[in-house]
Structure formats: C-alpha cells, structure tokens
Amino acid sequence: MKKIIGLIIGIFITTTIFSQELQDVVYLKNGSIIKGCIISQVPNEYIIIKTSDGQLYTFNFPQIEQIEKTQVTEIDGYGGGLSYGISLGGFGLIGLQTRIYVSEKFAFELGTSYNIGAGVSESYGNTSKKYIHTFIISGGSNFYLTKLYKKNKQKIKLNGITIKAGGGFVGFNTTVASCGWIHESFRLLNKTYSFTLELGPGILYTYNLNKTETINFASYLKVQWNWHSK
C-alpha cells in the first residue's frame, strides 16, 4: 500500500514539473540576459537561442557566463477588474475603498475615510476643546507605469503615480488633495489579493469648529489591503 501511495505521489510531482512551461535563460559575461528556447547547441563551441518574438541569436561559449532553465512566469492579469480595500492613513484614520480598473495600467479609486479633528466650543462664556468627527469622500486615479516579477520574493510588483482629492462635510468642513508614488504587490499565483502603499506630498484645508481656516502641507501615507474580483 505504501509503495502504491509513493508511486502516485511520484507521478503527481513528475506530472506537475513537466507540465510547467520552461524557458532557457542565457547569462552573458557582458551583463546581458537572453530568454527563449535553445534550438541548436554545439558543446564548447556555440548555441543558437530563439526568443519569444522570433529573433535568433548566436553566442560562442566564451561569451557565456551561465545557462539555466526557469519556469515561464506570466505577469499579465495581475491588476484589473474590480477590487475592494481597507485602508489605513491617507485622508483618514481608516477607510473603505473601491477600485475600478479601466485597464491593467489605469484605475479609478473611490472611497470614504473616517477622520477626527479638534476645535474650540463655547458654552455660557466658557471655551473648551472638543473633538469632532468627519467622513471624507475621496476619489482619484492610479497610473501604473511598470510591472515586474521579483523571483526571490515570488511577487508581482506594480509601480506608478496616484492623484487623489476629496472633502469632508460632516462635523467639520475639509478639503484634501495629494499626488505621489503608488506601489502594489501581488503574491505569485494569487491574483485576487494585493497590498498597496502610497506615499507623497499632500495638502489639507480645514474650516474648524471655532470658525478659523487652516491650510496644512504634510506627507501623505496610506497602506491598503485589496481583494480583487475578475
């Protein structure tokens, strides 16, 4: 029985390994890396490799540092569709966000965030500090400029620019805006969950409870956990 189970496991592992698409990777001594399929090889003399776009390259062995086979990683499809997220920071202490991907390189984001501020209230001639709450409704655009596969971390990483603005009208009036860098990462083989980090300069205009106006410039920092539906 144990031999049968071992044989089944062995067949499963072997099938999995050989069902994965592999590619040849040639590392040259000049620092270049060529990926494709080696179609001809004369040991200790030369190789001919065909890339995915059909180009043929011939390299002599003295030019080659190393040759290895790696699994082809398809990074398309990471990012896209519709996502829902929970955020910390940004325009509030905590928020709920919805992201609509027009394409894998561009997305609209809409959300609401809870924030708290302080003001001065007057009662019978006495003044006291009072904390007031607001919900900020915001929206903006994310432009993804690069998409990379980090083999050592087994992650797909997107980097780009984000522009957002919003306003709070419950409790106290405030207007916010920011522009900065956005980084989103997916674990390999998991396209339904991602983590986002946003960082950049921001501006905050507030009409306080004590009827004074303030404009503050500060760093905008937001972390967000996203769940995607394709």
pLDDT at 22 over 50: yes
Res 147: pLDDT:
87
CATH T-level topology, domain 2-71: SH3 type barrels. (2.30.30)
Best mean pLDDT range from 11-20, 32-41, 163-172: 32-41
Percentage of the chain beyond pLDDT 90 is: 39
Strand order in the sheet with 64-71: 56-60, 46-50, 33-42, 22-28, 64-71
Provide the 10 A C-beta neighbour count for residue 65.
12
Q: Residue 16: is its pLDDT beyond 70?
A: no
Decide if domain 82-229 falls under CATH 2.40.160.
yes
Q: What is the pLDDT of residues 191-212, one digit of tens each?
A: 899 999 999 998 877 765 555 6
Mean pLDDT, the chain, rounded, equals 82
What is the predicted pLDDT for the residue at 100?
Answer: 93
Tokens of 146: 């690069």
Q: Is the pTM of this model over 0.85?
A: no
> For the chain, what are the domain ranges?
2-71, 82-229
* pLDDT, tens digit (0-9, with 9 covering 90-100), for 62-120: 999 988 887 666 677 788 789 999 999 998 899 999 999 888 889 999 999 998 765 55
What is the predicted pLDDT for the residue at 18?
Answer: 39
Neighbours of 133 (CB within 10 A): 13
User: Rounded to an integer, what distance in angstroms lies between the CA atom of residue 121 and that of residue 129?
Assistant: 6
Cβ partners under 8 Å of residue 156, min gap 6: 75, 78, 147, 148, 149, 150, 185, 186, 187, 188
Assess whether the region 2-71 and the region 82-229 belong to the same CATH fold. Answer: no
Residue 116 contacts residue 93 (beta carbons within 8 Å):
yes
178-194: pLDDT as tens digits: 999 999 999 988 889 99
pLDDT value for 126? 60
> Residue 171 forms beta bridges with which residues?
none
